[in-house]
Structure 1
Amino acid sequence: MNLSVTIKDVAKKANVAPSTVSRVIHNSPTISEKTKRKVRKVLKEMGYHMNENARNLVTKSTKAIGIVMKSSARESLYNPFFPEVIRGIGDFCNKEGYSLSLTTGETEDAIFEDVVKMVQGRRVDGMIVLYSKKDDKVVPYLLKQGFPFVLIGKPSTNMSGITFIDNDNVQAAREVSEFVINLGHERIAFLGGSPEFEVIQDRLTGFQQAMEQAGVDVRQEYIKLIPLNRTDGIKAIDELLELKEAPTAFLVMDLLLGVLLLGVLAEKNLKVPQQISVVCFNHSEFIEFLSTPLTTVDIHTYQLGYEAAKCVFDLIANPEMMEKSISIPTKIIKRESHFVAEKEIK
């Protein structure tokens, strides 16, 4: 790439006016196809590349989309969900010539400050928020600022004015719970996820609906709503396994927690699936490399990100566009981590 070549240099070699070269670069309909071909040939021969920063100053566009993480980037990127959803966002943005800017704060307040800086400093043209939770400051702030953004997850407050992409998490949890119940399990643990996140509340609702419909008691000691980290995860798993009537099946809200569960069970010489069934939400290619490949609910994470990116571009182009919601279907992928219990549900 030759950074020293200017529009004037190209115009001189192509024997046209500099304004003509500029119009060709911007694909103006006022320039004939013959002239466009000639100028484009010279542009290529001379290795001219437009100064993106200069163009962005003129168009008042940053050519960047902000990504608001649920927690610190360091912590979030350990979770297979976030790299995959960002891959979906990135693939669409790349087609549009946009880059991504991620929040890097280590705390909730620091992440919010990152968002404020992006908005006030006009560092991005729009934002995608990768979570939905109660008492969150980010979404109300973006609404108040009238800034284009899309939410991945169902809004926890009034949906007016919010475009969001989500799965039907109540239905998904109900279907996978029915799957486990129909295997013959009654002692089913619901493990993982902080109750402040809407996705966890919806999945818990679906689980409870399936249990009640099957006539199986929902035992509160089997429900562990916890932050998704190793310490809290091990503590919750230990408490469940130490119950007088320990669960025979685990419905786990996060893939990393599912892998942690497999490790704890192995340490206690409890075999999956021979003694305990494990079913997880989320999907990743690395599952196939586990000693016991997990049965999972594929929420199509890549598609969540891709559709969110499409929607935020629509909002940038048309800020007055009515809000909308898109539901991405889910699918149970049956592998080797579940078994048919001896006691059948009548």
Structure 2
Amino acid sequence: MIKITIKDVAKEAGVATSTVSRVLSDNPRISDETKERVHEAVRKLNYKPNPIARSLANNKTRILGVVLPSEADDLLTNPFFINAMKGMSLYAQSKNYYITYAFSKSDKTETESIKEITAANLVEGIILLRVNEDDESIKYLKKINFPFVAIGRPESTEDVLWVDNDNFQAMYNVVNKLIKKGHKKIGFIGAMKSLNMSRDRLKGYKMALEVNGVNYDENLVIHKLQFNENEGYDAANILVNESKVSAIVTTDDLLAFGAGNMLKDNSIDDIALVGFNNNQLAQYQTPPLSSVHINADKLGYYAAKLLIKKLESNISTNTHYIVNTEFIERESFK
């Protein structure tokens, strides 16, 4: 297969290669007639511009960087990352931007990985997939004035682009529904409690109890280190056998899957269980798992949209998006 180059396009259009480059960069100084000749040659030859070469020519890479947290190394176990990345890619592609993904190495913090990426001058902006309490990555990116957007609400939203769900309200609604069904002892399983998302969901849990006149019991709240099934299993074992809960809410479906396995292994079928994120496997659990659908693809989509608009115009009319959630009730909601 013969590779078509910019020289071939220039020859076909009867112009210099530099003129072709200017046309492809939409230079306003090129006449409409010349632009049409070049575009016709591009169509005729089915020429695909080299994005890296174009980047070098105009000092713009049109590449966004995403540092995946180290615990996301097995993407198939947590579809949140896949769905968020899908949304980012869809919007970026529509605007002729590219996304490069890098894993935060186990021996480095996320901030150290971000320092390496920004120092390499290969990306124009960064998308953060989560926000921590007193977030060091956000501090660093603001300090060096590097464009970024965060998936997750930062503690201080000043001069920060961000997208998120209303995690407080979503968890409040779930717990409120359980209380209305007669549940009083509702266990809470979370993980990585330094994440603002985790903190907001716990606040929603507490407020729903308070509004309904149910005393908060710290023994019913368990924070684990990671979002995975083993952690959910261990936490559920404590809540069921020691605290005698009648319902369990979790901050992630992976925790709920583990809790569900614990209930199933012990033939317990009278405890309500609710997850978060509406993992595609939730409907195939036994019983099918009720969960909060967070629209992770939209979180990624709007994150890319905010960042690219900032890069294109250097101003931001919108600084954040709140993506709606939906409670998906299935058989585990007893």
CA distance 1:17–1:45, shift in 2 (3 Å): same
TM-score by length of 1: 0.88
The match for 1:277 is 272
The match for 2:240 is 241
Q: Which range moved further: 144-153 or 168-177?
A: 168-177
CA distance 1:13–1:318, shift in 2 (3 Å): closer
Matches within 5 A, 1:1-346: 2-3=2-3, 5-7=5-7, 9-28=8-27, 35-75=34-74, 78-107=77-106, 109-156=108-155, 158-227=156-225, 228-243=227-242, 245-271=243-269, 275-321=270-316, 324-339=319-334
CA distance 1:23–1:337, shift in 2 (3 Å): same
Equivalent AA in structure 2 for residue 109 of structure 1: K
Equivalent AA in structure 2 for residue 5 of structure 1: T
CA distance 1:231–1:261, shift in 2 (3 Å): closer
Question: Is contact 2:232–2:254 with CA below 8 Å preserved after alignment?
Answer: no
1:83-118: per-residue Cα shift (whole Å, max 9, x none)? 111111111111122222223123373432221111
CA distance 1:10–1:173, shift in 2 (3 Å): closer
CA distance 1:105–1:87, shift in 2 (3 Å): same
Identical pairs, percent:
31
1:58-86: per-residue Cα shift (whole Å, max 9, x none)? 22222211113343431455212111111
Equivalent AA in structure 2 for residue 315 of structure 1: K
Q: Which runs of 5+ in 1 are unaligned?
A: 340-346
Alpha-carbon distance in structure 2 between the residues aligned to 1:121 and 1:16:
35
Q: Which runs of 5+ in 2 are unaligned?
A: none
Alpha-carbon distance in structure 2 between the residues aligned to 1:2 and 1:50:
15
TM-score by length of 2: 0.91
RMSD (Å), alpha carbons? 2.3
Alpha-carbon distance in structure 2 between the residues aligned to 1:101 and 1:255:
27
CA distance 1:21–1:76, shift in 2 (3 Å): closer
1:162-201: per-residue Cα shift (whole Å, max 9, x none)? 1111112111111111111111111100112222111111
How far residue 145 of structure 1 moved from its aligned partner, in angstroms, is 0.8
Question: Is contact 1:14–1:39 with CA below 8 Å preserved after alignment?
Answer: yes
Alpha-carbon distance in structure 1 between the residues aligned to 2:19 and 2:120:
34
Equivalent AA in structure 2 for residue 98 of structure 1: Y
Alpha-carbon distance in structure 2 between the residues aligned to 1:128 and 1:170:
23
Question: Is contact 1:72–1:106 with CA below 8 Å preserved after alignment?
Answer: no
Question: Is contact 2:152–2:197 with CA below 8 Å preserved after alignment?
Answer: yes
* Number of equivalences: 333
SS in 2 for 1:336: coil
Question: Is contact 2:233–2:255 with CA below 8 Å preserved after alignment?
Answer: no
